[in-house]
């Protein structure tokens, strides 16, 4: 617990001293926001020229009209988010880990050099991301199926979210290792797993606490249909926007804290 608090402290101090450390996360969140806006505009020209045919083919003409286009946004945004996370998101994660290393060494943040490393290690990062996504997906599906259909939806959503986070934890150090120690795909996974085993409880505390920021959003999501009925369908966009904001904060801790722990452990050795 003490170690976890120490790492959080380090992360917050590094962020306060080097505001530039926030840039990769701002860019990722900014892209997500832009994608959400573009999806919102899907029924209107000129965006509809590109997005209307697949929406029509997969979901039906109805979803190109108000308010159904808004109701479809969470689903579309989920798929778009996968694309953003696996491209720009990964490059920015790599850059952020590079920045953490610079900050830890009390050096100036070297954007071009760190960005170059991130690009070079992209496919390794993509492999790790795919493994993390798949394990999260499989675990979430298993949890979903373990409950009967009439079970409390909020409880299921919370358990699915927590199970998904726990599934990702096993591989949480793989990306920092791929960037900081320039290990290959399997090497990063293996070393990351061993490191996770070594710092099992610290990692859980380190990640679960910031991840809890998302829980109020899960509660809000339960009330979205009621709010739509009482207010307007645009409530969906507000909920998704808050989701982007929460992800932005969680991502900072998910990326920086493990990298700091890794660097600190290396130094102590």
Partner 1 sequence: MKNNTRTQFKKLIPVFIVLILVGCSSNRFKAEKLFWQAEKKASKITKGKLQEDLTDKDINKMISAYRKVVSSYPLESLAAQSQFVIANLYISQKEYDKALAELKSVIQNFSSRPKIASAAQFGRAEIFEKRGMTDEAITEYQKVVDLYPLTPLGLSTPLYISQYYKRLGDTEGQRKARRQAVRNYKKLIFDYADTEVATMVQNYLAQAYLQQEDWDEAIKVWDEIIIKHPDTPQAIRSLITKAELRARELDDLEGAIKIYQDCIKKYPKAEFLKEIKLRLADLYLENSQIYKAKDTYSLLIKNYPNDEDLILRSRLGIINCFKKQGLKDEVVKGYWDIQKTHPETTAAISTPYLVYRYYKKIGDSQNEKIALSRAIAGYEKNFSVNKKDKENLTTARLLFLCYSEKKDWDKALSLLRDLADNNPKDPGFLLSMAVIYSRELNESGKAKKIYQEIINKYSDNKALVKLIKEQIVSLDESLLERNTGK
In the numeric block, which tokens belong to residue 209? 């606490």
The closest alpha carbon to 93, from 25, 35, 30, belongs to 25
Q: Given the rule CB under 8 A, which residues bind partner 1? A: 37-38, 41, 43-48, 65-67, 69, 232-233
Least gap, CB of 150 to partner 1 (angstroms): 12
Kindly tell me which of 51 and 256 has the beta carbon lying closer to partner 1: 51
Kindly tell me which of 55 and 125 has the beta carbon lying closer to partner 1: 55
Q: Residue 188 CB: number of other CB atoms within 10 A?
A: 26
Q: How far is CA 193 from CA 6, 63, 65, 162, 251, in A?
A: 22, 44, 48, 19, 20
Q: Cα–Cα distance between 162 and 211 in angstroms, integer?
A: 8
Q: Residue 35 CB: number of other CB atoms within 10 A?
A: 18
Kindly tell me which of 5 and 34 has the beta carbon lying closer to partner 1: 34
Kindly tell me which of 17 and 226 has the beta carbon lying closer to partner 1: 226
Q: Cα–Cα distance between 136 and 33 in angstroms, integer?
A: 23
Least gap, CB of 38 to partner 1 (angstroms): 7
Least gap, CB of 53 to partner 1 (angstroms): 16
Kindly tell me which of 48 and 191 has the beta carbon lying closer to partner 1: 48
Least gap, CB of 156 to partner 1 (angstroms): 22
Q: Residue 253 CB: number of other CB atoms within 10 A?
A: 19
Residues 6+ positions from 73 with CB-CB distance below 8 Å: 36, 39, 40, 236, 237, 240
Q: Please count the CA atoms within 13 angstroms of the CA of 265 that sit on its side-chain side.
A: 19
Least gap, CB of 52 to partner 1 (angstroms): 11
Least gap, CB of 32 to partner 1 (angstroms): 15
Kindly tell me which of 58 and 232 has the beta carbon lying closer to partner 1: 232
């Amino acid at each position: 617990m003490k170690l976890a608090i120490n790492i959080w402290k380090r992360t917050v101090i590094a962020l306060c001293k080097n505001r530039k450390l926030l840039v990769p996360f701002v860019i990722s969140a900014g892209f997500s926001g832009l994608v959400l806006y573009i999806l919102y505009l899907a029924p209107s020209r000129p965006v509809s020229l590109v997005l209307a045919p697949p929406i029509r083919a997969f979901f039906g003409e109805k979803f190109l009209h108000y308010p159904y286009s808004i109701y479809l946004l969470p689903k579309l945004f989920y798929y778009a988010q996968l694309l953003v996370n696996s491209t720009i998101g990964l490059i920015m994660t790599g850059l952020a880990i590079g920045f953490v290393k610079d900050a830890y060494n009390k050096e100036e943040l070297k954007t071009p050099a760190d960005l170059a490393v991130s690009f070079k290690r992209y496919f390794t990062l993509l492999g790790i991301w795919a493994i993390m996504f798949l394990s999260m997906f499989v675990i979430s599906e298993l949890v979903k199926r373990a409950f009967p259909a009439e079970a409390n939806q909020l409880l299921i959503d919370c358990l699915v979210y927590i199970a998904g986070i726990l599934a990702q934890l096993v591989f949480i150090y793989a990306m920092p290792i791929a960037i900081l120690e320039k290990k290959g795909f399997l090497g990063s996974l293996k070393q990351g797993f061993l490191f996770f085993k070594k710092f099992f409880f610290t990692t859980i505390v380190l990640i679960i606490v910031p991840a809890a920021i998302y829980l109020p959003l899960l509660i809000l999501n339960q009330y979205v249909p009621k709010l739509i009925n009482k207010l307007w369908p645009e409530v969906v966009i507000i909920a998704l926007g808050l989701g982007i904001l929460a992800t932005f904060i969680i991502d900072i801790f998910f990326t920086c804290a493990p990298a700091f722990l890794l660097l600190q452990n290396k130094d102590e050795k």
